[in-house]
Structure 1
Amino acid sequence: MYKSEITRFLEQLKQERPLLEQRQREGRALLWDRPQDLETMQRHRQSRVPASSYVYYPKDYT
């Protein structure tokens, strides 16, 4: 079965560093897995400004 060079590299890296994937997950958890503050979420939703359907066309053009 054919394995690309990058696949072989990643397999070798994972064998040499067995905790690599676990540390990656822990690192992602620091950035993404945070408790959500309901007040902040509501404030963000309320402050959204709808985007124009065509930004290059001025609103007051007649």
Structure 2
Amino acid sequence: MATNNIKLISPDSKLLQYTQIELKDPTDAYLESCFAAIQQNRYTIESNTLVQIGQTNKKS
């Protein structure tokens, strides 16, 4: 199961540590790409939905 490679960094943390897994089917490949996007802070999970994080450029 794909969730075996996800664990909390510490018991009181909301951060997850993700370990890359060997892909066995296209579903795993999809999950792998989702977690890669999350790790790069491009997406987040909100109510079990992958949501793109909008980045704004502030003019100073």
Q: TM-score, normalised by structure 2?
A: 0.30
Larger strand proportion of the pair: 2
Larger helix proportion of the pair: 1
Bigger relative contact order (CA 8 A; separation at least 6): 2
